[in-house]
Amino acid sequence: MTTLKSKNQGGFSLLELMVAMVVMLILMGIVSQLLAGSLSIRARESQKTDALSSAQAALNVMSRDISNSGFGIYSGASSRLASNGIIAVDSNANRLHLRANINNTGPITVPAGSTVLSTNLPGEDITYFLDAATDSIVRFDPNDNPQTSVLVNRISSVTFTYFDYSGSSSAGTVVTTPTNNTGRVRITLIVRLDPVYGQPNPSSVTFTSDVTLRNSNYMLNQY
């Protein structure tokens, strides 16, 4: 007995296969773009997390040293007013030099007539600045070994903003050069992120921290 095949039982035509392949390729392209976008976002967020951790660690070290600045130091041979410990002639918007007599010991340093106790131990004479050649914040301590250490890399800039306080006013005045009336320092770090495909480049993250100089004359008079 012979069975006749219906014309409707035939397979897909070449045109139908080509259309299906084109549709599949378009869908795969869309999925690939979505996947690449999510991976680039993940990479950028991972960089931000690393930058946050590194910058926060650096800010913690800097904040500790800056808040202790001026401890054990006084100004005025007779009045002996508290000092914030900032070396104004060596400090500006991108550099901060500070001193503290952590152990509160030692003779008066030269020159003769100086009212600053000796600061010749590690952690008592510190300078922070940006090394543009390596894009890093450097901590220089002439009494430490090594004298120079890197706090954090990939830094685009570090800015120190100084606030002066006088009398009974609690409103600080922003100054470009610190004085003995400086009672607060604002640290601003801009961390440069590495380029990530599919994300806006170049990109950076800004961190800000305010540090109170608790040994300054104004701050001590608040207690």
Per-residue pLDDT reduced to its tens digit, 191-205: 877 666 566 666 778
Is the predicted pLDDT of residue 149 greater than 80, yes or no?
Answer: yes
Lowest mean pLDDT among 115-129, 144-158, 194-208: 194-208
Q: Is the Cβ–Cβ distance between 182 and 38 less than 8 Å?
A: no
pLDDT band at 111 (very low <50, low <70, confident <90, very high): very low
Task: Tell me which of 167 and 55 has the higher pLDDT.
Answer: 55
d(CA 125, CA 63): 15
pTM: 0.72
Question: What residue type is assigned to position 152 of the chain?
Answer: V
- The two three-digit tokens of residue 47, written as one number: 């960089």
User: Which residue's structure tokens are 């590495």?
Assistant: 194
- The two three-digit tokens of residue 174, written as one number: 């922003």
d(CA 24, CA 29): 9
Q: Is the Cβ–Cβ distance between 39 and 47 less than 8 Å?
A: no
Give the up-direction half-sphere exposure of residue 26: CA atoms within 13 A in the CB hemisphere: 6
Give the up-direction half-sphere exposure of residue 223: CA atoms within 13 A in the CB hemisphere: 6
